[in-house]
Structure 1
Amino acid sequence: MPTPDRPLRRLGFLTIGSFEGDDPRPGHETTLEMIALGERLGYDSAFVRHRHLQFGISSPVAVLAAATQRTSRIELGTAVVPLGWENPLRLAEDLATVDVLSGGRPNPGVSVGPPMRWDDVRAALYPDTAEVEDFGRERVARLLRFVRGEPASAFSGTVGIETFSDRVQPHSPGLAGRMWYGAGSESSAVWAGGQGLNLLTSNVVRAPSGGEGSGAAGTGFAEIQARQIRAYRAAHPAGRVSQGLVVVPTDSATRAQRERYAAYARGRDARVGVPQGPAGLLFARDLVGTSAEIAERLWSDAGFREVDEAVFALPFGFPHEDYLQIVTDIAGALGPALGWAPRG
């Protein structure tokens, strides 16, 4: 657990990969350039978000496949692939293929639940099976079985000149140990641990019954997240846990950049501490300031003190030069302030 005398062991960043709808290639290229820069800066990992039917990465596995050919060391992750949009068997094939291409670097993160804007997309996504699709945890369990090499077919053998396998090919034995689950509640964290999954935490958690305004002790975001992590570790002591808060160091930022970052954070502060929506989601405050200031705030964060890995999320909607500054300052100033050392 990171404290001033116990350093952060692994550091990554998470990018959304935005692009222009009428010219999508430059945005995808800058995402790949950012990942390659991350490797040069010594990051341990680079993660990509997904954005279906939006102007962000719709096919993170394809983007990571491209990234494997532009990098040689950095781990490549997804945070997270919503399995409601995926066929677990086909996804297992894609993930295993990228794992082979990269020499064992993917860290796929997944989540459950109905696809976003389900009523609008169901006719296009599952025109014949929408009523019977299972969007719960069994979809993750099915993916894990295929990744681990359990049978996907009742047949194996040779028919004519074609040879068939009863499990997903290629099979990549180490991939299952690098699968992650994006959990926002204690029960889902415990379930992930029981499945042998690693745990991705973010800047969103599910508020306990009664919400943050109930007056109950220990219902702040950081305390809730810390309890979830401890519950996960009780279920899976050997599992990895990564925290993904939004951090924006300003060490080398221009005055205009600092003002833009501060305005962005202020615009999101209203949701902090107030359960949002039917699920009662709580959001962490974005951390903007010098690396020394952010490090001090992280040392006092109960959730951060429970992890030794971080994949800091880049904020939405900024120009590419802002992301270059943020990623460079995280690696060059914030990471070392947390005791992390770049990889060579």
Structure 2
Amino acid sequence: MTPLGWENPLRLAEDLATVDVLSGGRVNPGISVGPPMHYDRVRPALYPDTGDAEDFSYERVRRLLGHLRGEPVTEGGPRTEGFEVFSDRVQPHSPGLGDRVWYGGGSLRSAAWAGEQGLNLLTSSVVKAEESEDFEQVQVAQVRAFRAAHPAGEAARVSQGLVVVPTDSASPAQRRRYEGYAAARLPRTTSPQGPARMLFAPDLVGPSEQVAERLQAHAAFREIDEVAFALPFTFEPDDYEQILTDVARLLGPALGWTPDA
């Protein structure tokens, strides 16, 4: 997920398109909006001359989408000067990349807006408590608002991101570490947090069969057909290898996934 507040949309579009061309159309960019974290501290280095004028609203996303979708960025069309040919749009242009952009939204407004723009929606383990304090029901409402506003309707792509840690092949020490990590974060899931009333989903830790059952009982999980399992930042390389191996060998198949799907 790339916070656009740190980026120039035109330059980012060039970088994404270049990587997409080189990778054969495999890039699925994730983006979000809002001022950079600790903006007052980083503004002198990030935007020394334009800090007060930078627009961190949805307009920054529109600019990026326009560049990725091949909209002109200069007036007057392409032109030739001597032996040089200058395009009026971002180059390279990678057809289809603009339709593979994912927007990280956490409110009804942002979910509906993402749908109107034809974006894909990445809904995560953090949502804004608006009409309910039940995490699953809040997430369901956002998914439905997104698809109601999207040109593709029910076929619009939604990915659910949750922290999921299968423990099937974990050592006793690893299990204790994973369970302690989840327990330390559990209190924040019991009620909305902070002025923005953010709701957090509990981390799912346990054997793959048990995790699969909890996911299949999750109201929002039943609304979507794509998942993005998030990994904690503080684990060791061996932990990640064990978790990813169990996801591929056990949890994925328990949820209906196969390697060639």
**Normalising by structure 1, what TM-score?**
0.73
Aligned to 2:245: 328
| Alpha-carbon distance in 1 for matches of 2:210, 2:68 | 42
Separation in 2 of the partners of 1:260 and 1:123? 40
1:102-251 alignment runs, 5 A limit: 102-155=23-76, 156-208=78-130, 218-236=132-150, 237=153, 238-251=155-168
Q: CA deviation at 1:153?
A: 1.4
User: Residue type matched to 1:195 in 2?
Assistant: Q
Distance in 1, Cα, partners of 2:190 & 2:72? 46
Consecutive unaligned residues in structure 1, runs of 5 or more: 1-79, 210-217
CA offset digits 1:58-110 (Å, max 9, x no partner): xxxxxxxxxxxxxxxxxxxxxx1100011101011001000000000000010
The answer as to whether partners of 1:243 and 1:309 remain within 8 angstroms in 2 is yes
- Structure 2 partner of 1:277: 194
Q: Residue type matched to 1:299 in 2?
A: Q
Scaled by the length of structure 2, the TM-score of the pair is 0.96
Given that 1:335 and 1:341 are in contact with CA atoms closer than 8 Å, whether structure 2 keeps it comes out as yes
Deviation of 1:340 after TM superposition, in Å, equals: 1.1
- Superposition map of 1:19-168 within 5 A: 80-155=1-76, 156-168=78-90
The AA in structure 1 aligned to 2:37 is M
Q: CA deviation at 1:162?
A: 1.5
- Which segments of 5 or more consecutive residues in structure 2 lack a partner in the other structure? none
**CA shift at 1:128, angstroms?**
0.9
Q: Which has the higher contact order (CA 8 A, sep 6+)?
A: 1
Deviation at 1:328, TM superposition (A): 0.7
Opposite residue 166 of structure 1, the aligned amino acid is D
Distance 1:289 1:248 in 2: 7
What's the counterpart of residue 257 of structure 1?
174
User: Alpha-carbon deviation of 1:312?
Assistant: 0.4
For these two proteins, the number of residue pairs brought into alignment is 257
Distance 1:190 1:131 in 2: 28
Q: Which amino acid aligns with 1:202?
A: S
The residue identity in structure 1 corresponding to 2:171 is T
The amino acid across from 1:177 in the alignment is D
Contact 1:147 1:176 in 2 (8 A): yes
Pairwise CA distance, 1:277: 2.0
Q: Does 1:304 align with 2:224?
A: no
CA RMSD of aligned residues (A): 1.1
Cα distance, 1:157 vs. partner? 1.2
**1:232 Cα offset (Å):** 0.7
Q: Partners in 1 of 2:190 and 2:9 — Cα distance? A: 36
| Structure 1 residue 273 displacement after superposition | 2.3
How far apart, in 1, do the equivalents of 2:111 and 2:165 lie? 27
Contact 1:220 1:273 in 2 (8 A): no
Cα displacement (A) at 1:275: 1.5
Deviation at residue 138 of structure 1 after TM alignment = 0.5
Post-superposition Cα deviations, 1:249-301, rounded to whole Å, max 9, x if no partner, equal 00111111100000000110111122222211110000000001101111111
Q: 8 Å contact 2:216–2:222 — kept in the other structure?
A: yes
What amino acid maps onto 2:106 in structure 1?
G
In 2, the alpha carbon distance for the partners of 1:166 and 1:278 equals 44
Moved more, 101-110 or 228-237: 228-237
Kept in 1: contact 2:182–2:203 (CA 8 A) = yes
Tell me how far 1:161 sits from its aligned partner.
2.1
Percent identity of the aligned residues?
A: 66
User: What SS is found at the alignment partner of 1:323?
Assistant: helix
Give 1:159 deviation, angstroms.
1.1
Corresponding residue SS for 2:28: strand
User: Shift of the alpha carbon at 1:235?
Assistant: 1.1
